[in-house]
Every structure is written in C-alpha cells, then in structure tokens.
Structure 1
Amino acid sequence: MQQLDWIVLSATLLFIVFYGVWKTKGSQNVEDYILGNNQTPWYVVGLSVMATQASAITFLSTPGQAYHDGMGFVQFYFGLPLAMVVISFTFIPIYHRLKVFTAYEYLEERFDLKTRSLASILFLIQRGLGTGLTIYAPAIILSALLGWNLTIMNIVIGVLVIIYTFAGGTKAVNVTQKQQMFVIMTGMFATFFLILHLLPNDMTFSNALHIAGANHKMDIVDFSIDPETRYTFWSGITGGFFLALSYFGTDQSQVGRYLSGKSIRESQMGLIMNGFLKVPMQFFILLIGVMVFVFFQFNPVPLNFNPNNRIVVENSPYKAEYEAIENKLSKLSEEKKEINLIYIDHLNQNYDNPILRKELVAISSKENDLRDQAREVIAKADPKAETNDKDYVFIHFILNYLPKGLIGLLLAVILSAAMSSTASGLNALASTTAIDIYKRNVGPGKTEKHFVNATQFFTLLWGVIAILFACVGTLFENLIQLVNIVGSIFYGTVLGIFLVGFYIKFVQAKAIFWGAVVSQLLIFYIYYLDIVSFLWLNFIGALLTVCLSMILQISFGKKEIQE
C-alpha cells in the first residue's frame, strides 16, 4: 500500500465515525436512542437495511464464490423480495401499532414473558456470535494479505464501531450507513469498470461473458431437487424465503432499522426498496467475481490465493513438490491465454467456436486438478491450514492490480461493510438486552435517562464481547463460512414463534414455548446429522415450531377438558 492509499482509507473511516458522533449525540430518552424518534425517511431505512446485511464477508467472499463456482449463488436471494412483501404488510403494521422497541416485546403481549425471553435469548446467542464473525472475517483476511496484526485489526474495527454506536444509538447506525453504502457502491462500480479496462484491447464485455459462459460461470439457475445441493432455485425460493423472513422480520438488527421509520408507509417503502435492489446488487457483486475470473484467463494466477499457505509450504519438506505444480500451472496459463485470444478473435467474427469452448473447459478442468493437488500438499505441510482460498481471490486482485488510491478505497469498502453490519449487530444486541431482559425485570421508578445509559452500557459490553470473540477466532475453523449457517440454525425456530403469534390464534403460551424448545433441539440434531443443506433448516425449523405448537395446544386442550 502506498501513502495515497493510507490517506484515502484513514480519511474515509474517520469521516464515517466522526460524522456519526456529530450528527446524533445527546439522546435523552429511550425512544430517541433506540428508535431514532421515528424520524428516519424511507430511503434511509432502505439503505440501512441493505447495509446491515451487506457485511464485509459479502464483498470479500461473494466475488471469490463467483470466481470458483459462478453466478449460481444469486439463487440464495431469490426468496428475499417475496419475504419483503410479507413483512411489509404483516409484520410492520403490528410492530408499529404496538409501538414496540424490539420485535420480542410483541411476544409477551401475544403469549407470555417466558416466550419473549426464549426468543430474545435465541437472538442474543446467534447475533452475538454473528457480530463477532463480522469483525473477525475481514480482519483475518486483511491481516493475512497485508501483514497487519490480527488482534490489533479486530480491536480497531470494534472500537471504531463502538464509538459512534455508543454515542448515537440507532440514529448513528442509520446516518453512517448512508455514507457506508455510498463508499461501498462507489468502490465496487470503480472496480468493475477498471477490470473491463484491464482486459485485452480487442475484447468486449460480450466477449468476456462468452468466456465466462464457456467455463460454466454464467449458469445462474439450477432446478435440481437434490437436497444436498447447496444453492438451487428451490432452496433459494423456499429456504431463502424463510431465512429472509426470519432475518428481516424477527432479527432485531434488521427490525430496529425499519422501526425507526417515520410511519408504517415509510418503513414499508424502505423494505420494498431493499426487495427491489438486493438481488440486482448481489448479481452485480457476483458478476465482478466472474469478471475477475475472466481477467485471470489472461494474467498470471496463483496456485492458491491465500499467501499464508505459500509460506507454510516453503517452510516444509514439500516445497519442491509445490513448486513443480506451480510450474505446471504457469505453462497451462500460457496455453489458456493463447486459446482465449484465438476464441476472442473468432467471437469478433461472430463465430462462437464450439471446439475452442471444449478446449477452454478442458484447460479449466486441468487447472482445477492442479489446485486440488496443491491443496493436498498444503494439507500435508500443515493439517490445520485452511486450503479453501475463495475468500482471498478478490482481495488478491485488489492489492496486485488496482491503481494507487483505489486500493485504499476498496479497503475502505471492506472495512465500512464490516463496521456497518457490526454496528447494527451491537445496536440490536444492546436494545434487546436493555428492553427485553433488563427493563422488563428491573423495578419501576427508573428514569428515561437511566435506560439510555443502560443501553449505552450494553452497547459497550457487547462490543467488548464481540472483539474478544474475534480475537479468539483462530481457535475455530472455517468461521467465515459460518455466518449464514449460524443464522439458519436459530432463525427457523424464532420465525415459527412469530408466525404462530400472527396467524394461528388458538395456540397459547405453554404450547408455543415447548413447541419452540423441542423444535430448536431437533434442529441442532438435524444439523449434526448433516442430511440437508443449511438453507433448509430455516424452513424445517419454522415448520416444526408451527406444527409442534399446534399439536401440543390440541393435546393440552384435551387435558384441560378431561380435568
């Protein structure tokens, strides 16, 4: 990194922090601190909802996912627009009518305190873990590539977020997320057009899509019914729908964003905006990853994008074996470049040569075989090494091929996304702890200022917990892949509780509580058996909770009649 990159990175992050503190300091009551006095316009609600979901992992992992596996990951979001409609016309009116601070307040009115507490605790567990991951995931990747100290990076990201979230609460989260989304989209568009500029001179965007298509990177929709296939149309439209319904409808990190809207209509418009823009945004980010793949058809590509793995092998007896595979890849890359250039020439003459397409597929297969061999060597050199390098693809491209200044901007994009999702997580954790646990159980007579101070204290406490978890993250494996899995394990049960509350009026407190407890235990067991893709856990958890609570209610009703 050059001096200009440091200036761009530092100025961007510091502006976001100080702007958030300056615009939102001085909250005197809980409504102002947690709900932003219900003054948030619809477009800020929409941007805030998008920024909350768009963590650093989105901008690090998604392009790498597309580089390796193509555009199919976009199916993960196919159920989201429908979920936005359901939440807008079912969840939002109920939350606003009851004037709740958190989603879980509704559950006490509909059922009882223990059901509210159960849902709150399930949320605190999974969101507490998830918030630590939003810090740790970008920190471990950036520290590996830039040589920065991992612990210091965890602390820096966490402290920057704590400063403005502590000072301004929900308003601070909302106003800073406007700036963060601007930085994020500016950086991503700049990168996309720069990639196109770096491709060979006689190559059009259409040519690039043809090369990607020849390598099966443009296979967007998969109608497979195999439950073990992770991303399909069916898992996206069902499991993705229930995940989005759970996340946006019952997760306080998202509910808090639209509860601050000026009115029911403003909140609804913000969510519908997210429904319209989220799938195209993810499509665009995946397309950037596909264009990075096309770029590396003409430029040298590392055998493994994680630089730590290269260091591990160099300090092992397997160095010569690894270098031999690298030499094979280097020769293959030259062959790949020549065939791609010939293929482009044919495309410019309006001829999509089927023989060359087959050759490109064959070369891609050989390259994948070499990468598999390299992973085996890395695993022999260090059995604990993370050989999956998807999360390092995009940052490798940023650091090695972007011009000065733009590198700093893209790093600011990654850290802004980390701060955005972390801020929403901390704000939600603090609000839920203060309102659903502390305020509900503390004695009467406390002032509004007391509860503002309590929420600020819980913001600080959860911030420290998240930083500590991020700092011990190296004790666990594959954390970066766990974010959606962790959510899917818990979200289905919580969603089931809300669905029963909204739609199945004859089910009462005792039945829903025990139905949810049993459902959550069964989801743990199903995940342990590893018999379905994690996306299906959202659907299964919700369905189990609904069905078990109905069965138990009928059973309890019969017992009451007999008695």
Structure 2
Amino acid sequence: MSKLDVFIFIAYLLGIVLFGLSFYRKNKTSSSFTLGNNNLPSWVISLSIFATFVSSISYLALPGQAFLSNWNAFAFSLSIPFASFMAVKFFVPLYRSVNSPSAYTYLEQRFGPWAKTYVSVMYLLTQLMRAGTILFLLGILLHTLLDWNISTIIIVTGFSVMIYSLLGGIQAVVWTDAIQAIILIAGAVVTVITIMVKMPEGPWQIFEIASLHDKFSLGSFGLSLKDSTFWVVLIYGIFINLQNYGIDQNYIQRYMTSGSDKAAKKSALFGGLLYVPVSALFFFIGTALFAFYKASPGLLPEGIQADKVFPNFIVNQLPVGLTGFLIASVFAAGMSTISTSINSSATVILTDFFNISEDKSEHNKKSMRVLYLSSLVFSVLGIGVAVAMINVQSALEAWWKLASIFSGGMLGLFLLGFMSKRVTNSTAIIGVIAGVVIIAWMSLSPIIFPGTGLESLISPFHSYLSIVFGTIVIFITGFMFSILRFTARKQKMQ
C-alpha cells in the first residue's frame, strides 16, 4: 500500500472515533446511552440495522464464496424479506409494548427470571466471540497488507471502537453505523466498476465467463437434507433471521430507539431489505473476480485462498487512493458490528443483571457507572479473545461451537412464549432442554463419533439444520407437554 492509502485509512479511523466522541455531551443518562432518548431518525436506524447484518466476515467471505463456487449462499439473503415482514407485523409491536431496553425482559415476564438469565448469558457469550473473531480477522487483513504487528492492530482497533462506543452510547453507535454503511456500500460499488473497466474485452466478458462456469447458480434444488442445497440454505436463513429480528438485542434495541411504532417498523423493514441487493453486490464481486482472473491469467498468486482473493485485488489492482478507501470500507463493516456488540451487551448487563434503586438522585449515576464499566470490560475481553485466536484458535472455536449450541434454544423459547399462552414455566424448561440436546447431537456427533464404531449415531443432516430442528423440537415439546398438563388438570377437576 502507498503512503496515500495508509493516510486515507488512518484518517478514516481517526475520523470515525472523533465523530463518535462528539455525542459524549448528549450521552449523560442511561436512557440516552441505551435508547438515544427515543428520537433517532428512522433512516439512520435503517442503515444501522443493515450495518449490523454486514460484518467484515461478510465483506470478505461472500466474494470468496462466489469466487470459489457459486451464489448458493445468496439463498440466505432471500430469506430476509420474510423475517422483515414478521418483524413489522409482530416483533416490533411486541417489544415496543414491553418498553424495555433489553430484549429479554419479555421472556422474564413470560417465563420468569431463569429464561431471561439463560438467554442473556448466551447472548453475551456469542457477542463476545463475534467481536473477538471480527477483531482477529481485521488484524489478519491489515497484517497481510502492511506487515504491521497483528496484536497491535487488534488492540488499537478494539480500543478505538471502545472509546466512541463507551463515551458516545447508542447515538454514537447508530450514527457511525450509518456512515460506515454508506462507506462499505460505496466501496463495493467502486470495486464492481473497477473490475468492469479492467476486463480485457469489456464488462460483458464477466457474464460470458461466469455463465460458462455456472457461477450464477443458486445451487442444487434437490430435496436432500445432507447437502447445502438451495432449500437447506433458505430454511436456515429463515430461522437465523427470525432469531435476529425476534430475539437478538442488537436489532431489538434499535426498534426501541425510534420515536414511534411507525418509524420503528419502517427502520426494521428497510434495514433488512437493503441487505438483499448489497449482498448480491458482494456475490457479484466474487463472480467478477473469477472472470477477471480467468481473463487475465498469471495475475493471481498460485494456491491463494478464496477469501484472500478480494484483498489481493484491492492491494494490487486498484488505483492509489482507492486501495485505502476499500480497506477503510472493510474496517467499516467490522467496526460497526463490534460497536453494536459493545453497546448492546452493556445494555443487557445493566437491565438484566443489576437491580438499581429507582431513587432519581442515585439511579442515573449508578446506571452510567455500570454501563461504562460493562463497555470497558466487554471490550477488553473481546480484544483478549482476538489476541488469543492468534495462537489457540482451536480452543476458541470449540467455545464458539458450545455457545452456539446453547444459544440455539433462544428462538425456540421465544416462539414458545409468543405463540402459545398455555405454555408454562416448567414445560418451557423441558422444551429448551430437549431442543439443546438435539442441537448438541447435530453439532457434535460428526466430531465425536467418527472412528469409534458408533458412526451410526452421527447426524445425517447438514449442520445448517441444527437450529431449525432444535427450534422445532423446543416448540413441539413445550407445546405438547403443556397440552398434556392442561388435560391432566382438567381430568383431575372432573
């Protein structure tokens, strides 16, 4: 990278931090820190929801997937309109009626403290791993491009995001998300235009080469549940996005920052729908890169991994100045996700784990103290996870898998409480245990049983379906036990 590119990237990083810090004066109460005083513009919240969908993982992985194979993973994006509709119709009105900064207050009201504690802890674990993973990937990217020390990159980036998230609260997070969303979209558009201009025989050569190699395929439309067919990815996307919109604090907190139900619904709808064309743009970048390097053999290093093709193009093929801008757009995707995790996690910790007296003279001071300390601790732990991943990725991957298994029960528990009023506390617990056991079996059996003589116990289903089957089992088990209990009580009364 040239000095100009490095300057542009560093200027972006400093600019985002300073802009986020400008909200410090508006962030003196717990309400402003967690909900932005409920007066943030709907277009800003829409972009923030979109930026929450997109991380640096998406920015690099989606082009990598399209380069390596096809558009099969785009089926995930096609599930978002359904989840967005459900959010507008059911989830936004529900959470705004509960009127709590935490998404998990509803579960406490429905099933008691155990439900709130279970889901809150699982949320915090997954967010910690997510923030650490993204910081690690950003560190790897900049280390590869500039040969800077990876630990230093992780620490500087992590503390940069922490500073404006901690001092600026949700207003800083949402507004910087909006700016970062615009930057990452602009970066993707610039990339597509550049590739088109660089094609030896013009832009249409991309479509000719891609069509010849079936790169626009959405995958198999077969009914196998063992492979990542179009239907498996689509169903997986529906359940994951229902979990995002229905139970994820990152999204639900944004519903609450709007000034009205109408504005919240509008933000939820457009924030999700925007991801569909933008993700298509990311997939097209991967397809276009495949066509570009096919048409220009020798430009791509031998044996390069698919997810490193896009960074390689950014560094070696973009004009000076644009490289720095594109690296900034990749960091924008990552920083927006990390800042969201910091603020949302601090909000969950305050709301779900601290019972602060309502005495007005002390309430705000104590609340702000908890929010600041929680943001600091979460950020330091996230940085620690990222640094640890440099040397002990296998252990942290195991932790991530275990957290995913336990968090897999979140959606089922929510749907159980939301869709059936008969389900009680005890039947919900039975349902969650059954669902978590199914998810654990589907996730871990391919790792535990090979070579043990117990291969028949290995799950025959694709791993994407673990949350699908787990959620269904939780719902059916909880619902059926509630019916049995209701019937038994009725017979006793007779």
Q: Could you tell me the TM-score, scaled by structure 2's length?
A: 0.91
How far does residue 435 in structure 1 lie from its aligned partner after superposition? 0.7
Larger radius of gyration: 1
**Would the aligned equivalents of 2:48 and 2:178 in 1 still touch at CA under 8 Å?**
yes
Q: Deviations over 1:101-151 (max 9, x none)?
A: 111011111221111111111211222211211211221233134312111
Counterpart position of 2:454 = none
CA contact 1:76–1:235 (8 Å) conserved in 2: no
Structure 2 residue aligned with 1:216:
214
CA distance in structure 2 between the partners assigned to 1:396 and 1:405 by the alignment? 16
Partner of 2:34: 34
Is there any run of 5+ residues in structure 1 with no aligned partner, and where? 306-388
Cα pair distance change 1:233/1:136, threshold 3 Å: same
Q: Which has the higher mean CA deviation after the structures are superposed, 108-117 or 143-152? A: 143-152
How high is the sequence identity, in percent, across the aligned residues?
Answer: 27
* Aligned position for 1:431: 347
Does 1:269 pair with 2:198? no
Alignment of 1:369-388 (within 5 A): none
Q: Is the 8 A contact 1:24 1:171 kept in 2?
A: no
Change in CA separation of 1:254 and 1:545 when aligned onto 2, cut-off 3 Å = same
Give the match for residue 129 of structure 2. Answer: 129
Change (3 A) 1:236 1:41: farther
The one-letter code matched in structure 2 to 1:302 is P
Deviation at 1:303, TM superposition (A): 1.4
Residue 536 (1) aligns with residue 477 (2):
no
Which amino acid in the other structure matches residue 399 of structure 1? V
| TM-aligned CA deviation for residue 513 of structure 1 | 2.5
Q: Is 1:413 aligned to residue 317 of structure 2?
A: no
What is the CA–CA distance in structure 1 between the aligned matches of 2:130 and 2:160, rounded to whole Å? 18
- Bigger CA drift: 512-521 or 254-263? 512-521
1:356-387 alpha-carbon deviations (Å, 9 max, x no partner): xxxxxxxxxxxxxxxxxxxxxxxxxxxxxxxx
1:43 correspondence with 2:40? no
User: How many angstroms does 1:212 deviate by?
Assistant: 0.8
Q: C-alpha distance in 2, partners of 1:75/1:198? A: 29
Secondary structure at the counterpart of residue 132 of structure 1: helix
Q: 1:462 to 1:20 in 2, by over 3 A?
A: same
Tell me which residue corresponds to 1:63. Answer: 63
Look up the SS of the partner of 2:63 in the other structure. Answer: helix
Paired letter, 2:125:
I
**Structure 2 residue 302 is the aligned partner of structure 1 residue 303:** yes
Unpaired stretches in structure 2, ≥5 consecutive residues: 447-458
Instruction: State the alpha-carbon separation in 2 of the partners of residues 69 and 16 from structure 1.
Output: 35
Letter of the 1:237 counterpart = L
* 1:510-559 CA-partner distances (Å, limit 9, x unpaired): 22123213322331222112433332122112111111212332444466
Please point out which of 240, 256, 264 is paired with 1:259. Answer: 256
Q: Distance in 2 between matches of 1:240 and 1:89?
A: 19
Change (3 A) 1:5 1:40: same
Whether the aligned pair in 1 keeps the contact of 2:53 and 2:275 (CA below 8 Å) is no
Q: Distance in 2 between matches of 1:483 and 1:144?
A: 26
For 2:124 and 2:10, locate their aligned partners in 1 and report how far apart those are by CA, in whole Å: 32
The aligned counterpart of 1:283 is 280
8 A Cα contact 1:78 1:236, kept in partner: no
What is residue 161 of structure 1 aligned with on the other side? Answer: 161
Aligned to 1:178: 178
Report Cα offsets for 1:253-294 as digits up to 9, x if no partner. 222222211211111111211333211111111101111111
Aligned partners of 1:90, 1:147: CA distance in 2, in Å?
Answer: 49
> Aligned residue pairs: how many?
475
Q: Distance in 1 between matches of 2:321 and 2:395?
A: 30
SS at 2:390 equivalent: helix
Alignment counterpart, residue 548 of structure 1, candidates 457, 472, 477: 477
Equivalent position of 1:238 in the other structure: 235
Distance 2:71 2:397 in 1: 18
Residues of 2 paired with 1:53 and 1:62: CA distance?
13
Separation in structure 1 between the aligned mates of residue 404 and residue 265 of structure 2, nearest angstrom: 25
